Amino acid sequence: MLKINSGRTLYYGKGDVLVYRTYAEPLEAAPIPESPFVGEDNILFAHNIRFAVSGDALLTSFTDGDNAQLVATDSMKNFILRQAATFEGGTTEALLHFLAVRFMETYGHIDTVRLSANRIPFLPLPVPGPGGFLDNRLVYRRSYNDHAAAEMKLARGAEGYDLDEAWSGLSDLQLIKVSGSSFYGFIRDEYTTLPDAYDRPLFIFLDIRWRYDDPQDAIRPEAGKHVPVQQIRDIAQNVFYEFATPSIQHLIWLIGQRILIRFPQLAEVRFETSNRTWETVVEPADGLSSGVFTEPRPPFGFQGFSMTREDLIAAPEPAEGTVSSG
């Protein structure tokens, strides 16, 4: 008999399911030195979700054209939207877990759900109040900047559901440091045209993902070990600020170190970065005087790096020569 568990790929699902949930559970967080973030109201809890299912029972829909076991992807979309109304949590990870469990409870022949989400950020806006400006709770600003992301696999297990391949993430972070980054000392041979840079305006795109030692910590913020994406973002921007760095490679090592130091509950951090260093048009006289730059031309360099707790070394001090004294 044909089987799917012999390494066969079999899945189907719905992508770009836009879920604008209002008044989700507020999230509270303990502050860390790099971040003022202590929580969010989650009045707007919006996500773009990709939802894919698989299971042995679906094989004949591919091989025989038998649709008897197919949940239409249109119904999947409706399921996600309607179930989102009853979700009682306040994190992207918990939402995905909830939807996958609900789906497998409802459809007993689905063995595995793989799903991912990008949060659609809406930022709070201050309005004048009696004691100064305060964030209002009615009008929000849609942001096209960095945002939370998560992905996971839920598989029907002997007792309940096994949570696997669970990653939390921060996507599309774009940071520019105007002075204090260098790049020199690389191999110089007949293929080299890039000049040494002792102070370049370093513009980088970063995707950061992290995995918990216990994946349950990601979906139960009430246990106090959930890592807010805003604090990861603030660590990245602070480490960039603090250190004069010789390359993006070393910068992400320093960011990873700080993330693993701050959050002992994390087992692994992964980076994907892209180098968008501005092209110099009018060279500044020195690091802090005026210059003119423009967008770099493709192709763009990239870096990928993963770090586990085994990589953790003593907390690095800001390097000599840092320009970031405040």
Contacts (Cβ under 8 Å, ≥6 apart) of 175: 203, 204, 206, 236, 237, 240
Q: How many residues make contact with ligand URC (CB under 6 A)? A: 7
Q: Which of 95, 149, 248, 269 binds ligand URC (CB under 6 A)?
A: 248
Q: With respect to ligand URC, which residue has the nearer C-beta, 70 or 319?
A: 319
* Residue 99 to residue 169: CA distance in whole angstroms: 19
Q: Please tell me whether residue 79 binds ligand URC under the rule CB under 6 A.
A: no
CB 13 within 8 A of CB 76: yes
* Residue 120 to residue 150: CA distance in whole angstroms: 12
Q: With respect to ligand URC, which residue has the nearer C-beta, 140 or 241?
A: 241
Q: With respect to ligand URC, which residue has the nearer C-beta, 128 or 185?
A: 185
> Mask of contacts with ligand URC, 181-220, x by CB under 6 A?
--x----------x--------------------------
- Segment contacting ligand URC (CB under 6 A): 27-35, 98-106, 229-237, 242-250? 242-250
Q: How far is the CB of 204 from ligand URC (least distance, A)?
A: 8
Q: Which amino acid is at 290?
A: S
CB 238 within 8 A of CB 36: no
Q: How far is the CB of 301 from ligand URC (least distance, A)?
A: 5
Q: How far is the CB of 246 from ligand URC (least distance, A)?
A: 8
Q: Which residues are catalytic?
A: 14, 73
Instruction: Judge if the upstream peptide bond of residue 299 is cis by omega within 30 degrees of 0.
Output: yes
**Up-side HSE of residue 208: CA atoms within 13 Å toward CB?**
32
Which among 252, 121, 227 has a CA at the least distance from the CA of 166?
A: 227
* Residue 168 to residue 227: CA distance in whole angstroms: 9
CB 100 within 8 A of CB 87: no
CB 81 within 8 A of CB 103: no
Q: Pairing mode, if any, of strands 122-129 and 39-40?
A: unpaired
Q: Name residues contacting ligand URC, limited to 127-186 (CB under 6 A).
A: 183
Q: Name residues contacting ligand URC, limited to 254-283 (CB under 6 A).
A: 275
Q: With respect to ligand URC, which residue has the nearer C-beta, 18 or 194?
A: 194
CB 274 within 8 A of CB 281: no
- Segment contacting ligand URC (CB under 6 A): 14-22, 209-217, 227-235, 243-251? 243-251
Q: With respect to ligand URC, which residue has the nearer C-beta, 9 or 192?
A: 192
Q: Please tell me whether residue 247 binds ligand URC under the rule CB under 6 A.
A: yes
Interface ranges with ligand URC (CB under 6 A): 183, 194, 247-249, 275, 301
